[in-house]
Amino acid sequence: MKATLTVLGSGTSMGVPTIGCDCAVCHSSDPHDRRTRPSILLEYGGKTVLIDTTPDFREQAIREHVRKIDAVLYTHSHADHILGLDDLRPLSFRHKPNKLPLYARPQAADFIRSTFRYIFDADYKFGGLAQVELKPFQGPFELFGASFEPITVIHGESEIDGFRFGGAAYLTDHSDVPEASLKKLENLDILFLDALRHTPHPTHSTVEKSLRIVERLKPKRAFFTHICHDLPHEATNASLPPNVRLSYDGMKLEFEI
């Protein structure tokens, strides 16, 4: 089935420009250097699946004219990936009397449930709460005729999820990708990887480290995300192999799901 992937945000947890920063990238006039928090949208067979709800979700959804969301997948429960959950409200109301399903591994689902207690333990009579329900996953699951395989990655000291869906995979926060997970990422058309910057970081990958993953897995096309203000878009792209590019907010890709 044909699918479209839209990059809603390609930036690291603080976004680019970063508040109060006077560096060249934060002051760049290139729109590609403006990076909201990391998230993607998948559209296939008339359905729309969102991965992560960042603090920038409202702006991203308005920018991309999002009209509906049929499911949300969470990679993990860090603030930059979940704090836009409340802005699902207008899209969740369309699901009444049902609820918009939110998929996350059990630990992440528990964390989201406690962070958003006012939604999940609601005793509020006046309406207006997001109509959402958590669906913990363990292993691969199917959504609207496409199969989603959680891919375990190491993010500092935690295990979190990336996802493979058909010919594409999205890995957003990883300091390491275990061997067993690499084996699930063969024969890809599109591979998204974390590439925060050049300097090593305890919980994130670097351009150099992610290039080694690309060399090993040989996807047709690779895109880097979760990018900080150390990487100017144009100059960094010029230094990358032709099949590897920095992703950018608003980028759209076609693939088979």
Residues 168-197 that bind Zn ion (CB under 5 A): 173
Place of tokens 């300091």: 175
Nearer to Zn ion, 5 or 160 (CB): 160
Nearer to Zn ion, 131 or 236 (CB): 236
Place of tokens 């699918």: 3
Nearer to Zn ion, 6 or 10 (CB): 10
Contact with Zn ion (CB under 5 A) among 1, 2, 21, 118: 21
Contact with Zn ion (CB under 5 A) among 229, 244, 247, 248: 229
Q: For residues 132 and 177, what is the distance between their CA atoms, to the nearest angstrom?
A: 31
Tokens of 123: 């005793």
State in angstroms the smallest separation of the CB of 170 from Zn ion: 12
C-alpha distances out from residue 83 to 111, 203, 228, Å: 12, 19, 19
**Length of the chain (residues):** 257
80 near Zn ion (CB under 5 A):
yes
Using CB under 5 A, which of the segments 111-119, 145-153, 224-232, 239-247 binds Zn ion? 224-232
Nearer to Zn ion, 55 or 219 (CB): 55
Place of tokens 């760049």: 28
C-alpha distances out from residue 242 to 28, 221, 236, Å: 24, 9, 12
The footprint of Zn ion (CB under 5 A) covers 13, 18, 21, 23, 26, 78, 80, 173, 229
